Amino acid sequence: MTDPPPAPPASGRGEAVLHLEGVAKRFASPGRGAPAIDALNGVGFTLREGRIMGLVGPDAAGKTTLLRVCAGLVAADAGEVDVFGAPAARLDRGLIGYMPQAGALYAELSVEQNLSLYAKLRGLRRDEWDERIGHLLDLTGLAPFTRRAAGRLSGGMRQKLALACAVVAAPPLMLLDEPSVGVDPLSRREIWRLARDLAGPETAIVWATSVLEDAEQCDEVLVLHEGRREYFGEPAGLAGFAAGRVWSLPVPAAQRRGALRAALEHPATIAGRIEGGEVRLTLRSLADQPPKLALAKASWRERRPQVHDGFAWVLDDGSALRPSTVAAAFPEIAHEADAPPAIEAVGLGKRYGDFTAVHDVSFAVAPGEVFGLLGPNGAGKSTTFRMLCGLARPTSGHGRVAGHDLTTAAAEARQALGYMPQKFSLYADLTVAANLRFVAGAYGLAGACLREAVERAVENLALGEFWRLPAGTLPLGVKQRLALAAAVMHAPGVLFLDEPTSGVDPIVRREFWHHITGIADRGVAVLVTTHFMDEAEMCDRLLLISRAETIAQGTPEELKQQALAVRSAGATLEDAFVALIAAQRERAREAA
Amino acid sequence: MSRQGSNRLSRLAALALKELKVVLLDRRARTTLVISPIVQLLLFGFATTLEVKSIAIGLVDRDGGRAAQEIVAALDGSPNIRELRVYPSERALGDGLARREVIAGLILPQRLSADVAAGRGGEVLALLDGRRTNAAQIVGGYLERIVARAGAELRPRLRGPPQPQAIARNWFNPNLDYLWFTMPAMIAVITAVLVLSVSAQSVAREREFGTYDELMILPLTPAEILLGKVAPAFVVGVANCLFYTAAIPLLYGVPFTGSLALLLVAIVVYSMSLVGLGLMISTLAGNQQQAFLGMFFVTVPLILLSGYAAPVDNMPEWLQPLVAVNPTYHMIVVSNGIFLKDLPADLVLKHLLPMLGAAVATFTMAWALFRARSE
């Protein structure tokens, strides 16, 4: 698109844009029994011009607070905050482009109105507007949608617009709070390209994220954990912590998930994932040997560590994952190989007026299978998902869940399924206890049965200490656990998970998938949507939807093969995802 | 059936409990629900009725006979009337009204005493200051009562847009204390505002906070969801009614002559009709702000067409059918009746039925809308 950016100056040279030392910030308790929060505790770093710093850490690590301190929106309790050589309190805000989490767009205003509003607010001269806004529209690829309301954009486009609005005046410092949260791999690549295009050679960027793939793109990484700095330096240095601790082993597809679960429950393991047909582990100590897995014939091989391995090592709390008690609470569902599918979509379609959201999607999920729905934001993935759990009515075709037709026996179908929505949907004002009691009651439990079910859920998902707290005050990871507890309260035979780990840190994600695969092994059919390719690798089969249509269906390996057949792509699932979608777009262009 | 039935009941109980908690845990809602009835009670009781005590009345006496003397004596003796001004002519009285020397005036015609004595019932013309409509109407009520005692009829005329007024006779309020009317009616008005605000927010809140999906995925039918949302509105309606029934006699000495049980039954049916209306608004609204505006859109006509602010008889013909289906109108009649004249059950029932009809109609519509928009 443009010339490659000039090589960034090496660390230690160039003017310091941000310089923090011993920064601390404590927030009072949000009330009703929730504890006070030490958001930052002695954090310091220096960011020089032209550099991109990744701010990574688990949820509630203090990332947002640190960004707000740098932007001069929150005053630190202690420590020194210098921005462009001056204290943050006397900062010229015009020098900073701050993009808050989820952006600060006016949903009712159009793309163009949002941009010109921010141009005005940022004090851009009237004669510069047209050129700058035109340039931003080109870069974001939003030029065809200038009149569309921001609230009606897909997730990826919305993030791009929010980014463009934040940096409309081309500030020399960009503070971006999770610009890539909840977006698909393709959009994430586009957002990265956009940020680099928008940055001048001297622009410094702070990029907060809980996605470690983002961290790999940065010049420097600051790892925060519970308000403390755990690491600051180049990404390679972070990966280096795990050197000699990363191992992989090829395992046949049918046993992969079980093997990973067994390995994760081994005390020597801190993290693990499935990658290209292999189980890949990060071990706690150099002295540890990877656990022996009964079914594997091949032997473990040492691998080159990546950023996520180092991150897992840095944040390791020394304890192994315990077997999923959530899964153990499910009755074993016996199922034969030729059992009828638990979830079935037949020619499912949905139109809103002239707009086709989903066109002719068909698939079936067997009991005990984890089925992944992938696709770019706005491709029709969520609509398909919502039709199958009865939240949207199909305009063509039909869906069945646990043998019940969704249009004629909706109540029976809903009794048979558990659902975890993308956004936290429980009652923020109610306590954890009240929320769980409500959900259990709504599933028709009462008296001793209800008490038992609620107690079991609380114990299995370790919610005991939050029992009396309002759900709205919980950290994100705990919220997700609560949502899962509510979804599996009645031990459903079918589980729907809509981006269950969106915005959640890798530690919680690992714990979550431990439960999910455990539940599937009890014979539950799981339909899951995700933007994380490591999660997609955990699925038995995948369906890739783009522009309302199915473009690929099969096991992760089959998807990679299909991608290789259409164009030369890299070896990872993410490469396959990007390649298959690009191929579809090319076909559409040729046809036009 | 029993298993299914108990299942359904426990579901409804869980829903109702959740709705109650959600409303009571919301600090803003709690403040509105507790503070606003108290403020209204004090405001309406003390502030708005002050202007009809200590008033000046004008008089043009062309009769001077027995009936006229009786009227003058009664006016003079009334504790609410501070001053009685005598004017020489109708024109002088008109000027006096214009200068705000008096709020109302009586013109006693020449043949008044003769007509009364002959049993033909005389007519007295009343001029009222149309700029102070509310106060003037209350004063009109006083004057009518006084004139009636003398055996004549009052023909009131509002200055400003001249319009003949017919005012109900105040048999059950012999002291003509206006509070006796306003306070029992306040129960109906404040219940309307509170119950509507609680129910209008209920579905809209779920949409705004994203809890709507969770609600829709649970095995609950639209009817169950709507019935669950009735609980907080009922609690608000009944609690408010009990508070007012206790406070009004204590603070303002308004007698409570009827049956509390009947009043509670009426309040429950009345709240039901309001909840249906509130849920309709809530189902149509996309967020709480829209729900609030929708509630405003409904509350104002509900109160204006209830006879609380302006007498129903004064409204044009074509509006009368709307009054007949307005639950607030019926509730005001019932509340006044139970407070002041021990309204018997059969007469209460006559007003309960239209409220029940309104409840069924609004619920059915809310249910249909909810089903249609449940996607």
| pLDDT value of position A477 | 82
Instruction: Using the 3D structure, point to which of B128, B159, B190 is the last residue of a domain.
Output: B159
In a domain, A285, yes or no: yes
pLDDT confidence band for B154 (50 / 70 / 90): low
Q: B22 and A393: CB-CB below 8 Å?
A: no
Residue with tokens 């292999």: A278
**Which residue among A389, A392, A442 sits closest to B14, beta carbon to beta carbon?**
A442
Do residues A485 and A353 share a domain?
A: yes
Q: Are residues B97 and B141 in the same domain?
A: yes
Diameter of chain B measured on Cα atoms: 84
A495 pLDDT tier (thresholds 50, 70, 90): very high
Structural domain includes residue B165: no
User: Same domain, yes or no, for A278 and A378?
Assistant: no
Q: What is the DSSP string of A429-481?
A: SSBHHHHHHHHHHHTT--HHHHHHHHHHHHHHTT-GGGTTSBGGGS-HHHHHH
Q: Which of B23, B201, B217 is most worth mutating to test chain A (most A CB atoms within 10 A of its CB)?
A: B217
Percentage of chain A beyond pLDDT 90 is 41
Look at residue A557 and tell me whether its pLDDT is greater than 60.
Answer: yes
Measure the CA–CA gap between B150 and A72, rounded to whole angstroms: 80
* Sheet with A269-275: strands ordered across: A269-275, A278-283, A246-250, A301-302
* Last residue in a domain, options A321, A337, A362: A321
Query: For residues A46 and A85, is the Cβ–Cβ distance under 8 A?
Result: no
Task: Kindly report, residue by residue over A328-375, the tens digit of the pLDDT.
Answer: 888 887 766 678 899 999 999 999 888 889 999 999 999 999 999 999
Residues of A in contact with B371 (CB under 8 A): none
How many C-beta atoms surround the C-beta of residue A591 within 10 A? Answer: 6
Query: Sheet holding A370-374: strands in order across?
Result: A417-420, A494-498, A525-529, A370-374, A541-546, A549-554
For residues B203 and B316, membership in a common domain is answered with yes
Q: Residue B61 falls within a domain, yes or no?
A: yes
Concatenating the DSSP letter of every residue in A106-142 gives: -TTSBHHHHHHHHHHHTT--HHHHHHHHHHHHHHHT-
Pair of tokens at residue A585: 């777009």
**What does the pLDDT look like over B204-242, one tens digit per residue?**
989 888 898 888 888 888 889 999 998 888 888 889 889
Domain co-membership, B196 together with B136: no
Residue A138 shares a structural domain with residue A284: no
Same domain for A258 and A211: no
Q: What is the C-alpha to C-alpha distance for residues A503 and A181, in angstroms, rounded to an integer? A: 6
For the beta carbon of residue A146, count every other beta carbon within 10 angstroms. Answer: 14
Q: What percent of chain B has pLDDT over 90?
A: 24
pLDDT above 80 (res B181): no
One domain for residues A451 and A495: yes
Lowest average pLDDT, out of A337-351, A431-445, B45-59, goes to B45-59
What is residue B47's DSSP assignment?
Answer: I
Q: What whole-number distance in Å separates Cα of residue A56 and Cα of residue A62?
A: 10
Is A526 a domain residue? yes
**A501 in a domain, yes or no?**
yes
Residue A484's pLDDT band (cuts 50, 70, 90): very high
Beta-carbon-side half-sphere exposure of residue A373 (alpha carbons within 13 Å)? 32
Residue A112: which CATH number? 3.40.50.300
Contact A372, A539 (CB under 8 A): yes
How far is Cα A71 from Cα A454, in angstroms, rounded to an integer?
43
Where among B108, B125, B159 does a domain terminate? B159
Q: What is the mean pLDDT of residues B259-277?
A: 92
Close Cβ partners of B372 (under 8 Å, ≥ 6 residues apart): none
Mean pLDDT confidence for A78-86:
90
Residues in Cβ contact with A326 at an 8 Å cutoff, skipping those fewer than 6 apart: A460, A461, A484, A485, A488, A515, A518, A519
**Which residues from A are below 8 Å from B231, CB to CB?**
none
Select from B352, B302, B97, B57 the least CA-distant residue to B193: B302
Closest CA to A55 of A165, A257, A215: A215
CB-based contact A430 B17, cutoff 8 Å: no
Tokens, residue A592: 């036009």
Predicted local distance difference test score (pLDDT) of residue B166: 32
| Res B129: pLDDT | 80
What is the per-residue pLDDT across B334-369, written as a single tens digit (0 to 9) for each?
998 999 888 889 999 999 999 999 999 999 999 999
The reply to whether B190 and B133 lie within a common domain is no
CA distances from residue B52 to A234, B94, B136, B139, B184 in whole angstroms, order as listed: 82, 20, 8, 7, 19
Q: Is B118 exposed, middle or buried (0-12, 13-18, 19+ CB in 10 A)?
A: exposed
Q: Report residue B89 as tokens.
A: 């002519």
Q: Determine the pLDDT at residue A81.
A: 92
Q: Answer yes or no: is B168 within a domain.
A: no
- Neighbouring residues of A127: CB distance < 8 A, sequence distance ≥ 6: none
Coil, helix or strand for B158? strand
Say which DSSP state B164 is in: B
Within-domain flag for B133: yes
How far the first Cα of chain B sits from its last, in Å, is: 30
* Same domain (yes/no): B65, B33: no
Q: How far apart are CA B366 and CA B277, in angstroms?
A: 7
CB A30 within 8 A of CB A473: yes
Residue B187: which domain range? 2-47+178-372
Are A427 and B15 an interchain contact pair (Cβ–Cβ within 8 Å)? no
List alpha helices for A172-329, DSSP H: 185-198, 212-216, 235-240, 253-264, 307-314, 325-328
User: Quick one: what percent of chain A has pLDDT higher than 70?
Assistant: 96
Question: Based on the domain organization, do B110 and B127 belong to the same domain?
Answer: yes
**B221 vs A: CB within 8 A:** yes
pTM: 0.81
Region of poorest pLDDT, from A551-560, B100-109, B115-124, B287-296: B115-124
Average pLDDT over residues B41-59: 73
Spatial contact of A118 and A83, defined as CB atoms under 8 Å apart: no
Residue in A with minimal Cα distance to B5: A444
Query: Does any domain span residue A79?
Result: yes
* Chain A residues within 8 angstroms (CB to CB) of chain B: 389-393, 411-412, 414-415, 417, 419, 421, 423-430, 434, 437-446, 450, 470, 486
B111/A219: higher pLDDT:
A219
Is residue A75 within 8 A of residue A128, CB to CB? The reply is no
Query: Over chain A, what is the mean pLDDT?
Result: 88
Q: Which residues pair with A149 in a beta bridge?
A: A110
Q: How far is B253 from chain A (nearest CA, A)?
A: 41
The reply to whether A160 and A278 lie within a common domain is: no
- Of the three residues A321, A348, A378, the one that is the final residue of a domain is A321
- pLDDT of residue A460 exceeding 80, the answer is yes
Q: B26 pLDDT band (50/70/90 cuts)? A: confident
In this complex, the residue of B17, B25, B210 whose CB is nearest that of residue A423 is B210
The pLDDT of residue A1 is above 60: no
Cα separation, A359 vs A380, whole angstroms: 9
Amino acid B356: pLDDT: 95
- Burial of residue A554 (CB within 10 Å: 0-12, 13-18, 19+) is middle
Q: Are residues A223 and A277 in the same domain?
A: no
pLDDT-based confidence at residue B157 (cuts at 50, 70, 90): low
User: For the segment A87-96, what is each residue's pLDDT rounded down to a tens digit?
Assistant: 888 888 888 9
How many domains does chain A fold into? 3
What are the CA-CA distances from residue B73 to residues B54, B70, B127, B146 (Å)? 17, 5, 19, 10
3-state secondary structure at position B320: helix
Is A550 in contact with A543 (CB distance < 8 Å)?
A: yes
B250 and B337, same structural domain? yes
A174 lies in some domain: yes
- Is residue B114 in a domain? yes
Assign B141 a pLDDT band (cuts: 50, 70, 90).
Answer: confident
Q: Which two tokens stand for residue A524?
A: 């539950």
Asked which of B124, B159, B194 is the last residue of a domain, the reply is B159
- Please check whether residues A172 and A248 belong to one and the same domain: no
**A71: nearest Cα among A17, A14, A141, A148:** A17
Residues of chain B positioned with their CB less than 8 A from the CB of A442: 11, 14-15, 218-220
User: What was the pLDDT predicted at B270?
Assistant: 94
Domain-ending residue, one of A169, A204, A231 = A231
How do strand A246-250 and strand A278-283 relate by DSSP bridges?
antiparallel
**Neighbouring C-alpha atoms within 13 Å toward the C-beta of A127:** 0
B100 and B26 housed in the same domain: no
Residue of chain B minimizing CA distance to A426: B211
8 A C-beta contact, residue B352 and residue B343 = no
Decide if B106 is inside a domain: yes
Would you say residue B169 lies in a domain? no
Whole-number pLDDT of residue B47: 63
Tens digits of residue pLDDT in A130-178: 888 888 998 888 888 889 999 888 888 899 999 999 888 889 999 999 9
Q: Looking at A239-243, A420-424, A439-443, which range is the least confident one? A: A420-424
Residue A391 and residue B375: Cβ atoms within 8 Å? Answer: yes
Confirm or reject contact between B21 and chain A (CB < 8 A).
yes
pLDDT at B52: 67
Sheet holding A396-401, edge to edge: A355-365, A343-352, A396-401, A404-405
Contact by Cβ (8 Å): B183, B254: yes
- Contact: A415, B219; criterion CB under 8 Å: yes
Question: How many domains would you assign to chain B?
Answer: 2
Q: In angstroms, how far is CA A80 from the centroid of its own chain?
A: 33
pLDDT band at B4 (very low <50, low <70, confident <90, very high): low
Cross-chain Cβ contact A425/B212 below 8 Å: yes
Question: Quick one: pLDDT at residue A15?
Answer: 84
Based on the fold, state whether residues B87 and B139 are members of the same structural domain: yes
* B146 vs A538, higher pLDDT: A538
Regarding whether A407 and A267 lie in a shared domain, the answer is: no
Contact B221 A430 (CB under 8 A): no
**With 90 as the cut, is the pLDDT of residue B275 above it?**
yes
- Same domain (yes/no): A297, A445: no
Q: Tell me which chain B residues have a C-beta less than 8 angstroms from the C-beta of A423.
A: 210, 213
Residue of A77, A79, A118 whose CA lies nearest to A99:
A118
Q: Is B175 on the interface with A (CB under 8 A)?
A: no
Interface test with B, best of A438, A445, A490 (most B CBs within 10 A): A438
- Please report whether residue A576 resides in a domain: no
Q: Is residue A386 located within the same domain as residue A535?
A: yes
Residues from chain B that touch A421, judged by Cβ atoms under 8 A, are 210, 213-214, 217
Q: Do B95 and B201 lie in a common domain?
A: no
Whether residue B15 and residue A441 make contact (CB cut-off 8 A), yes or no, is yes
Query: Are the C-beta atoms of A274 and A537 separated by less than 8 Å?
Result: yes
Using alpha carbons, select from B249, B242, B294 the residue that is nearest to residue B268.
Answer: B242
Kindly state whether residue A2 falls inside one of the protein's structural domains: no
pLDDT at A353: 86
Task: Looking at the structure, tell me whether residues B334 and B314 fall in a common domain.
Answer: yes
Based on the fold, state whether residues B277 and B200 are members of the same structural domain: yes
- pLDDT, mean of residues A209-229: 90
CATH of the domain at B134: 3.40.1710.10
Stretch B320-333: mean pLDDT, rounded? 91
Residues A242-251: pLDDT tens digits? 999 999 998 8
Closest CA to B301 of B310, B313, B314: B310
Q: Tell me: pLDDT of B173 over 50.
A: no
Q: Among residues A372, A381, A375, which one has the least CA distance to residue A555?
A: A372
Q: Which residues from B are below 8 Å from A438, CB to CB?
A: 14-15, 17-18
Contact status, residue B111 vs residue B122, Cβ threshold 8 Å: yes
Nearest to B275 by CA among B189, B188, B360, B209: B360
The reply to whether B166 falls in a domain is no
B200-228 exposure pattern, b = at least 16 Cβ within 10 A, e = fewer = bbbbbbbbbbebbbbbbbbbbebebbbbb
**Which range marks the domain in which residue A270 is found?**
240-321
B14 touches chain A (CB under 8 A): yes
Q: CB under 8 Å to A490, separation ≥6 — which residues?
A: A415, A418, A440, A443, A445, A453
Both A293 and A332 in one domain: the answer is no
